[in-house]
A and B are shown apart, each in its own frame.
Chain A
Amino acid sequence: MPIKSYIAYPAEGKRQELINTLKKFEECEVIPSENHDIVIVITETNSKEEEKVFEARLKEVNSLMMLSMVAGFDTN
C-alpha cells in the first residue's frame, strides 16, 4: 500500500483551481503553503498498479504545471 509525498507546482494563476481539483481525489491529501504557490500532495493507494493509474490521472490535471516526488513508502 504505497504512500508518497510530492511538491506540486500550479500553472500560473491556477493555485486555487489545483487545490480544489486535488481535493476531489479520494487518494489524495492536499497541504497548501500559506505564503508560496506550492502545494504538498500526499497520495495513498492500495497497490502499485493502482498507484500507477492514479499518477497518470494526476498528470492530466490542467492546473498542475509540475509534480516532484519527495518521499515514498510502502506499508506492506
Chain B
Amino acid sequence: MYKQTEDRRSFLKKMAILSAVTTATAMFPGILFAEEQTKSLPAGDLEWKKAPCRFCGVGCGVKVGIENGKAVAVKGDPNSTVNKGLCCVKGYHAVISMYGKDRLTKPLVKKNGKYVETSMKEALDLVASKLKETRDQYGKDSVSIYGSGQWTIPDGYVASKLFKGCLSTNNVEANARLCMAGAVTGFVTSFGMDEPMGCYEDIDHADVFVLWGNNMAEMHPVLFSRMLDQKYKRNAVIIDFATRTTRTSVAANKSILFQPQTDLAVANAICHEILRNGWENKDFIEQNCNLNKGLTNIGYGLEDKFKFKDKPEPISFEDYRKFLEDYSPEKVEKYSGVSAKDIKYMASLYGDPNKKVTSFWCMGMNQHTRATWINNLVYNIHLLTGKISTPGNSPFSLTGQPSACGTVREVGTLTHKLPKGVVMNKKSREFAAKIWGVPESNIPPKPTYDTVEMFRALDRGDIRFMWIQVTNPMVSLPHANRYTEGAKKEGRFVVVSDIYPTPTTDVADVILPSAMWVEREGLFGNSERRTQYWKKMVEPPGECMSDTWQIIEVARRLGFNEQFPYKEETHVAEIYNEYRQFHDNKKHNMAPLEVLEKEAGMQWPYVDGKPTKWRYNSKYDPACTKEGFDFYGKPEGKAIIWQRPYEAPAEVPTKEYPFWLNTGRVLEHWHTGSMTRRIPVLHRAMPHAYVEINPVDAKRLGITDGDMVLLTSKRGQLKMPALINGRGLPPVGQVFTPFFDENMLVNKLTLDSYDPISREPDYKKCAVRVEKA
C-alpha cells in the first residue's frame, strides 16, 4: 500500500482511500474490501515473498512486496488456510512500521545520563562483560532475560540455551506470561499438554460460537470475518459473553453482559443446567474424563515472593454434581448480572446434541486472577457434552502475539520450562542438556521468577542485570510505576533490544538496534499450532542485528563457542533443526524446514508428511493409542473435569474508588503501539487513548464526550479524554481504557495481582475513582 516514488496526488488519493477503509473497518466488524486491497497495490515489478504477519497471534499468511531492496507492500496470501487472502488494517500496513523516522539504527550506551552512539561490537562487548561481572559478583540468579511472544523461535531457543543451559539460571521469562500463562495452565491441568486441540477450520464447521470476554472484531478481525461469513452463509450463531458492549457485541446474534469475575460462576451454572437437564454425554465422560478438585481461597500474588502450589484431589461425579448445587442459574443471576434465562439459553446451545459449538477466548479469561480456573471451567462444559476434538467442537484459546505459542510455549521461554518438559523433571533436564551439549547439572531444578516477580526482584536488587528483547514492559506491566522506578535504581544494568525508542528503552543502559521481521530470517508459531517460516527479504538499516544473532554474539563472548557454533548464513536452519530434536515424537513433531519453505505454515504434530488438525481424536491424530478419544497428556488418556468455585477478585470497587477499570486493545494499534503508532493512517485513525464511560455515569458526573477525566486508583492518577457512546460501551459503574498509548499510561493505575497457578496478572479488574478533570 505504500510506495514513496508515487506522485503526491496518487499518494494522497491512496491515503484518502486507506482512511475510509480503516474507518469502515473500525465501524463494521468483519467488513471486507478485498478487491480494493488487491487493486490498490503498487504497480511495477514487485517481487512477492511469503511470511506470517508481524502482528497478532492469528498468524495470517501474507505476501510482502519488495522493490529496490525495500518492503513496499503487503497483501493477504490466498494460499494460507489461516486468512485465505484476507488481511486486517494492521497487517495490511505492516511494512510501513519498518520505516518510521525514529527507527533505532545504532547501538546506544548511556554515559553520564546521556545516550552515546557506539558500534555494535563495542555494545555487545559491554553487554557480555556486564553480564559476566554481575554474575561473578552477585551470583548466577542475578542475571536474567525477558523476551516476548514476538521472539522468533530461534530467538527464544538461543535465549533459553544460553541462560538455562550455559549460565545456569532459570531467569528466563517472556511477556506471554502477561497474556497466555492462564491458557497454558488451563490446558496442562485439564489435558496434560498445552495448546488447542482444534484449529481455525473449526470455524467452517461450528453452528454456534460462544466468545468468552473476547472482542474478536477488534483483536482478531480476520478470524471474526471468517466467523461472520459463516453467520451469513450458514446461519451460525454468535454469542458475545462479555463485560462491556463492543463492535463484537453489535455483530453478534446475542450480547450477554456479566459482572467482572463472575464468568466463573456462570460457567459453573451452565454445567449445572447441563446436568439438571441430562444433556451431559455420559458415555464420553465415562470413557474419557476423571474429576478433580483443587485448593480454594488461593490468594492473589500481591505480596513479593508469593508462593502457591495446588493440591489436586480426585472427586466423584456425585461430589461434582453436589458442588454445582450452589450454581443454579437462579442463584448465579443474583451476583453475575446475567439472567437465569440467558444462562439457560447458553446451556441449551452447549447441551444440544445436534449443534457443534466452538468457544473462543483470549485476554478476558487469561488476564484473570483465576485464569486457570476459568479455562478449566470452559473445558468442563466441552467435556461434559463431549464437544471437543472434532470439527466444529472446540474450546479454543486465541493468542495475541505472533509466536506466543511457537516460541514462549513450545520452545519454553518461561522460568519453569524447557523446550520439552520442565526444569523440575530430571529426565527433561538430561534431555535438554544432551542436545545443548552441557552437563545436566548446569540446568537448575527449580524455577526462579515469573514475570511480575522478576521485575519485583529487579526492584529489590535480587536481579541486577536484565536483557529485554522485543517487548515494552514499562508500558505493559501492571502497576508499571513500581517497575519503572525499580529498573532505574542504582546498581541495575538493563539492556534493551528494540526497533524504536519506547518507555522501556528510556530505562536502558544499553540499547541494541534490532532487525525487524523480514529484515531477518525467522519462524513464528500461531494459535492453531501452525509453524511458519520466512526468509530474509531486505537488509536491516544501520547496524541493526537480529535478536538471535545478538544473543549468539554475547554467548560467544562469554566463552560458549562450542554451544553456539552456528554460521551466520545458515544459523536459523541449524538452530531449527537442533530444536526439532526436542519434539521428535508423534505428539509434537514439527515439520522440516524444507516443508515450511514451500507451504504457508504447517501444524504440529506433523506425522508421516501430514499436519494434525484435531488432536486427541484417533480419527485425526496418529499419536492416539486407542480408538476414539485419547487425551494422552494425562494418565489413562483421560481429561480432567475440575471442580473450581467462584472467588472474588483481588480488588473491588469501594466508596472511595467506586468504578471497575477494565483495560484492553483497539483495532488500529497492536499492543503498546510502538510499531502501529508509526503507521500514519493508523495513528490518525486512533491518535490517543481515551476512557469509555457509560452515558448514565457521565451525566451524573457532569462529563461530556471529549472532556478530560481524572482516573485515580490506589496506585496512581491519569488524565484522559472521555468517550461516551463510542465504539465500546461499558455498563454503569465500569470504565474501559486501551493501553496502547505511552503518553496516557493506564498501567500506572492497574493492580499487579495475578492468578496464583499461572502467575498471569489481571488487567481487567481494579477499582478507580472517576472525576471530571
Residues on A lying within 8 angstroms of B by beta carbon are 1, 3-7, 31, 33-36, 38, 40, 42, 44, 70-73, 75
Q: Which among B23, B32, B229 is the interface contact of A7 at CB below 8 angstroms? A: B23
Please name 14 further chain A to chain B contacts, defined as beta carbons within 8 Å, in addition to the given A33-B24, A71-B20, sorted by A numbering: A1-B9, A5-B17, A5-B20, A31-B20, A33-B31, A34-B34, A35-B225, A35-B229, A38-B31, A40-B36, A44-B13, A71-B15, A75-B8, A75-B9
User: Which A residues lie within 8 Å of B732 (CB)?
Assistant: none
Residues in A neighbouring B15, C-beta threshold 8 A: 71, 73
Task: State the CA gap A3–B12 with chains docked (Å).
Answer: 7
Contact between B17 and A40, CB atoms less than 8 A apart: yes
Q: Nearest Cβ in chain A — how far from B362, in angstroms? A: 23
Please, how many angstroms separate the alpha-carbon atoms of A73 and B20 in the complex?
13
For the complex formed, measure the closest distance between the CB of B343 and the CB atoms of chain A, giving whole angstroms.
32
Is B33 touching A33 in the complex (CB atoms < 8 A)? yes
A76 to B414, CA, bound (A): 56
B20 touches A70 (CB 8 A): yes
Q: Using Cβ atoms and an 8 Å threshold, which residues of chain B touch A35?
A: 30-32, 225, 228-229, 232
Given contacts A3-B9, A3-B12, contact A36 B17 (CB under 8 A): no
Docked complex Cα distance between A40 and B35 (Å): 12
Tally of A-B residue pairs with Cβ under 8 A?
69
B20 lies within 8 A of A34 (CB): no
Known: A35-B232, A38-B24. A4 touches B31 (CB 8 A): no
Could you give, for residues 216-249 of chain B, a 1 whenever the CB lies within 8 Å of some chain A CB and a 0 otherwise?
0000000001001100100000000000000000
Instruction: Give B13-27 interface residues, CB cut-off 8 Å to A.
Output: 13, 15-17, 19-21, 23-24, 27
Please list the residues of chain B having a beta carbon within 8 angstroms of any beta carbon in chain A.
Answer: 8-9, 12-13, 15-17, 19-21, 23-24, 27-28, 30-36, 225, 228-229, 232
Q: Which of B9, B23, B36, B229 contacts A31 (CB 8 A)?
A: B36
- Find chain B residues with CB under 8 A from A5 CB: 16-17, 19-20
Which of these, B31, B35, B229, contacts A36 with CB under 8 Å? Answer: B31
Residues of A contacting B21 in the complex (Cβ-Cβ under 8 angstroms): 31, 40
- List 8 A-B residue pairs with CB atoms under 8 Å apart, sorted by A's residue number: A3-B16, A35-B229, A40-B36, A70-B23, A71-B20, A73-B15, A75-B8, A75-B9
Shortest Cβ distance from residue A50 to the other chain B in the assembled complex, whole angstroms = 16
* Residue contact B19 to A71, C-beta cutoff 8 Å: yes
Chain B residues contacting A42 (CB-CB under 8 Å) are 13, 16-17, 20
Task: Choose from B8, B9, B13, B35 the contact partner of A34 (Cβ within 8 Å).
Answer: B35
What 9 pairs across the A-B complex have the smallest Cβ distances?
Answer: A71-B19, A5-B16, A5-B20, A73-B12, A40-B20, A70-B20, A34-B32, A75-B9, A71-B16
Residue numbers in B under 8 Å from A1 (CB-CB): 9
Provide the bound-state CA to CA distance between A75 and B9, in Å.
Answer: 6
How far, in whole Å, are A33 and B28 apart by their CA atoms in the complex? 10
CA–CA, A33 to B24, complex, Å?
9
Give B772 Cβ to nearest chain A Cβ, in Å.
Answer: 29
B660 → A minimal CB distance (Å): 33
For A74, give the chain B residue with the smallest CB separation: B12
Asked if A38 contacts B13 (CB within 8 A), the reply is no
| A13 vs chain B, min Cβ distance (A) | 17
* Chain A nearest CB, measured from B139 CB (Å): 58
Give chain B nearest CB distance to A4 CB in angstroms. Answer: 6
The residues of A that contact B33 with a CB separation of less than 8 Å are 31, 33-34, 40
Question: Using Cβ atoms and an 8 Å threshold, which residues of chain A touch B31?
Answer: 33, 35-36, 38
| Minimum Cβ distance to chain A for residue B689 (Å) | 21
Question: Within the complex, what minimum Cβ distance (angstroms) separates B84 from chain A?
Answer: 13
A4–B604 CA distance with the chains assembled, in angstroms: 48
With a cutoff of 8 Å between Cβ atoms, the chain B residues found around residue A36 in the complex are 24, 28, 31
**A72 CB → nearest B CB, Å:** 7
